């Protein structure tokens, strides 16, 4: 009995970490049993850039709960657990195969822009440092798109402020 319980735990744990199985499961259910989201998961995108300090009543994003319930990963009574919605799965759940192809191309283009900034000639303005930090965040493909991209604005702003503070009062190169 203890052995079968351990097996159940192992199967449950491995299924949580197996993104390929999750993607396959979503493909299997969508749109036959679960309708496409048709872009609904991206509606929060504009809000993700607005600091809650400025808009305290800003809507909360509960996509991890919504996704978990929609696809049956969570029990109906579970209102605490969050299931990460991987970006590629999110693309498919919204727009099917076309969403994955177009979304991947757009993400690839964005990654290329960030790489172009980070591989510029070395300068003292900190652009490479900021681009590297942004790229690190973009590599979090195991979180939904608006969660990842909402953090980019804050990452850039915080890095720019920090670099300005570090260089505050220092003479610029070439001046005496």
Q: What is the pLDDT of residues 90-114, one digit of tens each?
A: 999 999 999 999 999 998 998 888 7
Asked if pLDDT for residue 139 goes beyond 50, the answer is yes
79 versus 171: the higher-pLDDT residue is: 79
117 versus 146: the higher-pLDDT residue is: 146
Helix (H, G, I), strand (E, B) or coil at 84: coil
**Kind plus residue range of the DSSP H or E element containing 98:** helix 87-118
| Residue 25 DSSP label | H
Residue partners of 147: CB distance under 8 A and separation at least 6: 48, 61, 63
Helix axes 87-118, 127-138, angle to 10 degrees: 170
Share of the chain above pLDDT 90, in %: 34
121/129 Cα distance (integer angstroms): 12
- Answer for the pair 146, 42: CB distance below 8 angstroms, yes or no: yes
Q: How many Cα atoms sit within 13 Å of 53 on the Cβ side?
A: 2
Residue 116 pLDDT grade (very low, low, confident, very high; cuts 50, 70, 90): confident
Q: What is the pLDDT of residue 120?
A: 65
Share of the chain above pLDDT 70, in %: 82
Angle at 50 between CA 46 and CA 55, to 5 degrees: 120
Q: What is the CA radius of gyration of the chain?
A: 21
Question: pTM for this structure?
Answer: 0.75
Q: What is the pLDDT of residue 15?
A: 55
160/171 Cα distance (integer angstroms): 18
Q: What is the pLDDT of residue 159?
A: 82
Residue 1 pLDDT grade (very low, low, confident, very high; cuts 50, 70, 90): very low
Express each pLDDT in 7-39 by its tens digit: 665 565 555 557 888 999 999 999 999 999 999
**For the chain, how many helices (H) and strands (E)?**
7, 0
């Amino acid at each position: 009995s203890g052995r079968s319980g351990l097996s159940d735990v192992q199967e449950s744990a491995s299924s949580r970490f197996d993104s390929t199985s999750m993607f396959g499961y979503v493909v299997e259910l969508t749109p036959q049993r679960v309708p496409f989201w048709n872009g609904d998961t991206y509606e929060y995108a504009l809000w993700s850039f607005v600091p809650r300090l400025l808009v305290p009543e800003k809507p909360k994003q509960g996509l991890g709960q919504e996704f978990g319930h929609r696809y049956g990963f969570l029990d109906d009574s579970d209102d605490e657990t969050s299931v990460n919605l991987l970006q590629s799965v999110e693309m498919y759940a919204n727009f099917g195969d076309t969403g994955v192809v177009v979304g991947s191309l757009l993400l690839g283009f964005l990654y290329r822009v960030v790489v172009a900034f980070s591989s510029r000639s070395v300068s003292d303005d900190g652009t490479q440092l900021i681009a590297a930090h942004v790229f690190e965040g973009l590599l979090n493909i195991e979180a939904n798109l608006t969660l990842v991209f909402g953090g980019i604005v804050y990452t850039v702003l915080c890095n720019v402020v920090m670099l300005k503070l570090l260089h505050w009062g220092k003479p610029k190169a070439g001046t005496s």
